[in-house]
Structure 1
């Protein structure tokens, strides 16, 4: 059947918490066409580079197609029987707290609900936590302390109605590009001011009215100074403050704090305070730079204090807005997926709430105290307290702090189950039982985005092999453990109705989360469900919270908290003089199990790196493109140096995406200590201390191949290309025979070789050809190899080109490294257009080449190219 004959299906993107709508059209051969849904309220048709490339990530390569027990493929009956038996036996011998679930924002809400119900209601332990603990647990804690519930007050529309948007610890341009484009459009239309508060200069700073490069971890001191300025400037809303408690104590703490720790000048601080104080419609957007801190909860409350003190909350264009990292981080919060929460924003430690949920579920037991949060859960797995562990759709052997210790703990656990779409992750390789789960595009359910909008994810592809939806796997284990009727579901719609009904009980307790108006949806209504912002109840429909001064503490009032600056837990010292910040890059997602399948997403930044200031690089003897060893008290990494003044002296930055599968030496969370916020349990991922030194390699290499290569070197990093794979390599010992090493690396013992080797100069180039086509090539030098990488990456599979020169023919223009992933436009292509066509603006480049016209996240880089050309021309 022609793919065009298939109808489009509305679904939701599986990446960040923006929750963009997508339209999916299957081609009848297992593939998809993907475009933005113009009717979805989150994105209105826009998609970022990752969303635009979703069609490149749905193939069967690397998919787990059948259950595996101890590496042996088996059927579901044996695998699930073993899981149920081992969990049941462990609980019988050691109690319910001897088992744990570690789940993920990649789960749909219906999956999450079943996992939470099974663990808390029937196993009787609260030992279920989620990788959202690494993302937004501090926001949850801050919301609950201030509002009485984990409530996001505002909506995305506030970005378009604000006169000032303050971005705190949020690289919105790269991490939530569609929201950033909505903000930029509002700025163009109505002159919205933008302030970025971030130790590092990011793409989001491009064109901002102000960038406050504060010292890492000093956000509380800055917002305490703002609270003082609001008080001294007469900007408080005294009428609104009557709906709050704690202002005097909060103000006293703010007066006692010292804004000098921010490292900002008095003039910068004063300018920021005047702008915030003098602008009524203010939205403060915050993300991981706030949350991932040992004082993250206090940072959140310092921001909330300022909005509560001025009444700038819950009204159009006013309020704090937490933007989450995962597509269903919010859904996980709603179902109680965190170890310290019950479903529907009910409180685990409230006996009335526990009884209500227990009775609704007809559950045998409910835990009375919070379970183990993520960091403690893996500690417990390592020391034997957790004896059976189930990990679902996440890769903690890479993404958790102290990742080497977490990897060892998973390996040491007596029984580990992993549910995922692939067995090729650092975590899956440690499992006793691997369960093949249905992936995005293959499963049905709901997700909730950062502004409380519930959207449907819909299946348009058949699950491959024996893969099953997560809710179905969990429910079957529940039945096999003896909890039959409680887990007797036929469809996700049935689960959703139960969950919506439970939310009505929460509503009667006065909780914010109430979608009981959806509890009677028929299967057909569920299938047709449009994006809907909660609450959906008789008393309240969607909209904003708290503009009326009505909060969810018992007395109906909000709380302002006294908070004070606390420096990051790790202290710099002569042995570890640098402060390490970690984060995302533009085109990759988490540990790349999905985005790593897309050649165009892999082309933008194809190698892990360390940003370091020029002064620091000079002092350490580091040159541009050198490899560097980065060492912390917890671990060691090797990364490529990127010398830039985007970071301040004494600070360095590294991305968190690379794994044992893609760059074993670059598992950056192995360097991060397992220090957590004492309230939220969220790890401090942006303020580790490290030492940096050149990595003295005996040789450097670059390789391309049709097939996945198997490097054996001190450093290697491989990424997908349109024709196969590319890799950077470096070693501390020279092989005796470069041709033999190339054959081993590429697994091509019989291929025809063309080689050039100059042992005296340390240069080697080897091309391997089979049936007249280039299969692979290796380039080696005593320093980082100087070849046209993006040209070479497209050659494998071609009819034996002249590859050893490492450069394209004179009549073939080299597009250079990909800058615009949406339209696959290279740096050199843009530079040539700028110079030949006299392009002067980002919009002009977009009109000529399309670059930057989709998600816009590459626009700051295009602007930097324009600036570079203009500076060079001015100097000539």
Structure 2
């Protein structure tokens, strides 16, 4: 880095967009980061510019017109600070990020079934499983460490595997190389929900002994209606299986997989461990009905008793290294830290106290709306929304880029051209920079310390490799210093909200991420949280080992770790179905068997129903074509598509299975 950049590291666009005056920059999207377009300023000047402009925008348009787009690549300490600033200080609920695109289907599916956003098992379930399935998941390329662990298990014990993916991926081929006889592949394009239900149909009608009726009666609800619905509508050989339900897999192959699923389920139940483990990935989440994909897999596990024991678990694999951590810190619209929604008054008031703000302030934040969530954020920022009360006026990018979003050219870039746009960015030529009004230089994972959380709920410490060069600041420094300025501008007690101390780090002053982590650990023990890691603080008090030291020595811990003993043991491997009771009684964890209102697992039949497919597709096709037609004004269309397990455009299913010379040239089966 040139020495002169360190003196003035913040870039401010000369031709800034200003939503207050209505001015839209004419230089965004073109040119480089040179003196022609940008002025270099000090940290103090740059942070003042951002804080003061946001203060003006809030006073003129309201708090919810400031939005953030972040990612699942930030440390949890930074995620926590982001949420405190956006929801606690500014008072906006418009905070989104790439986890919305990759993981929210799994999140909402988990909430709909077990009442909490988490995988209840561990990677060690692989070693105990009798059958492993992958849905919309290509682990050999996407999660290679997991793939080779499954491959080792398959080679060692010759267990069957199933991959559900339109392509013959390297995962499909890799399993076939080990044993082609018990490596199954469903090349589904659509109809995934119907496939779940068809497997269930075969099990219910031919392997009824597999269904744990006594367990379901005590621990679940909705399962009787599920069984009735499956028997009535999901015979894979039925007359509407292809046309209405979209099942395009050979019924005999479905029956074969159902036989294997049933056999594995019985082995696991009789042995007390093992059964079926199902992984799914982004290929399953990124659907209009992605939430229902999660529910569909969970239904199959519940109805066959493949939950709540080692070696049997429905397991969502994240798309980013800290997508679980971001969700854990509540870094999405209407969420708060520790797996609670902002509408939960008791938890909201506790978080307000933890953050050092008045409960009334967070209550006002809870009243703000962000219809359409991730996509809605950009639709609200679009020029077509100017003049409407919910129009977004500023977007803050932190470790997230606009080019991974849909409709980049037609929706996203017009939006970030109009808004006052902040890019907190590590890379000099990152795409966000060309649309930014202010660029705050961030740092890499090797220059800062903090924690990530993996898919199995394991919190691990990432220790920095090198000190920052003089003049450069960590992302944590940016958050705290910007947060202090905003708090002061809004008449809040900045020292109470951000009580953290500057310490000497390398050749410069910075904040200590472990101080933020301790605050997170204290807050995790609030009533209603199921992420309690306060046991780490008990260990520190008794044994003198800091939380980061514990994480390093243990190789991470799996939350929760609510007591000294559990924290010392590395957290809890398994959740729900009374697996936690020995370590975490109901009265302390604040929920019963499952984290639902009544403590019961929810089973709910979800459908592929293409009866009105063309009609709904015609409505969806108006987006980006018809002037002013935005999904945030037509959420009913999206709900209809979700509830029917539909897709937005081709393939033309009525021509599925035909030879190409029999298909009209304008059709794509």
- Give the TM-score normalised by structure 2: 0.74
Query: What SS is found at the alignment partner of 1:262?
Result: coil
Q: Do residues 525 (structure 1) and 532 (structure 2) align?
A: no
Q: Do residues 245 (structure 1) and 198 (structure 2) align?
A: no
Give yes or no for contact 2:6–2:471 (8 Å, CA) kept in 1: no
CA separation of 1:632/1:76 partners in 2, compared to 1, >3 Å: closer, same or farther?
Answer: same
Corresponding residue number in structure 2 for 1:230: 203
Q: 1:316 Cα shift? A: 1.5
Q: 1:359 Cα shift? A: 2.4
Q: Aligned equivalents of 1:201 and 1:572: distance in 2?
A: 32
More strand, by proportion: 1
Q: Which runs of no fewer than 5 residues in structure 2 stay unpaired?
A: 14-37, 177-181, 266-274, 501-510, 580-592, 626-633, 653-669
Query: What SS is found at the alignment partner of 2:606?
Result: coil
Give yes or no for contact 1:200–1:213 (8 Å, CA) kept in 2: no
Corresponding residue number in structure 1 for 2:62: 95
Q: Aligned equivalents of 1:568 and 1:164: distance in 2?
A: 34
Listed as ranges, the matches of 1:724-873 within 5 Å are: none
Of 314, 322, 339, which aligns to 1:345? 339
Q: Do residues 274 (structure 1) and 259 (structure 2) align?
A: yes
Corresponding residue number in structure 2 for 1:85: 52
CA separation of 1:217/1:337 partners in 2, compared to 1, >3 Å: closer, same or farther?
Answer: farther
Give yes or no for contact 2:114–2:594 (8 Å, CA) kept in 1: yes
Query: What SS is found at the alignment partner of 1:216?
Result: coil
Q: Aligned equivalents of 1:545 and 1:298: distance in 2?
A: 22
Give yes or no for contact 1:441–1:459 (8 Å, CA) kept in 2: yes
Q: Aligned equivalents of 1:161 and 1:64: distance in 2?
A: 57
Q: Do residues 488 (structure 1) and 506 (structure 2) align?
A: no
The total of aligned residue pairs comes to 536
Q: 1:466 Cα shift? A: 3.9
Q: Aligned equivalents of 1:305 and 1:119: distance in 2?
A: 36
Q: Do residues 108 (structure 1) and 75 (structure 2) align?
A: yes
Corresponding residue number in structure 2 for 1:194: 161
Give yes or no for contact 1:252–1:562 (8 Å, CA) kept in 2: no
Q: Aligned equivalents of 1:477 and 1:568: distance in 2?
A: 52
Q: Aligned equivalents of 1:231 and 1:63: distance in 2?
A: 67
Q: 1:571 Cα shift? A: 6.0
Corresponding residue number in structure 1 for 2:190: 217
Deviations 1:99-132 (A, max 9, x none): 1111111110000000011111222221111110
Q: 1:409 Cα shift? A: 3.3
Listed as ranges, the matches of 1:207-606 within 5 Å are: 207-208=175-176, 209-232=182-205, 233-234=207-208, 235-241=210-216, 242-258=218-234, 259=236, 260=241, 261-280=246-265, 281-364=275-358, 365-366=361-362, 367-369=365-367, 371-372=370-371, 373-382=373-382, 383-384=385-386, 385-396=391-402, 398-464=403-469, 466-481=471-486, 482=488, 483=492, 484-485=494-495, 486-489=497-500, 490-505=511-526, 508-509=527-528, 511-519=529-537, 521=540, 525-528=546-549, 529-530=551-552, 531-538=556-563, 541-548=571-578, 550-566=593-609
Q: Which runs of no fewer than 5 residues in structure 1 stay unpaired?
A: 1-29, 31-58, 576-630, 636-672, 692-876
Q: Aligned equivalents of 2:73 and 2:291: distance in 1?
A: 24
Query: What SS is found at the alignment partner of 2:341?
Result: coil
Q: Aligned equivalents of 1:632 and 1:461: distance in 2?
A: 51
Give yes or no for contact 1:410–1:416 (8 Å, CA) kept in 2: no
Query: What SS is found at the alignment partner of 1:167?
Result: strand
Give yes or no for contact 1:65–1:465 (8 Å, CA) kept in 2: no
Deviations 1:453-477 (A, max 9, x none): 0001111123346442222211111
Query: What SS is found at the alignment partner of 1:88?
Result: helix
Relative CO higher for 1 or 2, CA cutoff 8 Å, sep ≥ 6? 2
CA separation of 1:401/1:64 partners in 2, compared to 1, >3 Å: closer, same or farther?
Answer: farther
Give yes or no for contact 2:334–2:366 (8 Å, CA) kept in 1: no
Deviations 1:812-838 (A, max 9, x none): xxxxxxxxxxxxxxxxxxxxxxxxxxx
Q: 1:189 Cα shift? A: 1.5
Q: Aligned equivalents of 1:140 and 1:478: distance in 2?
A: 29
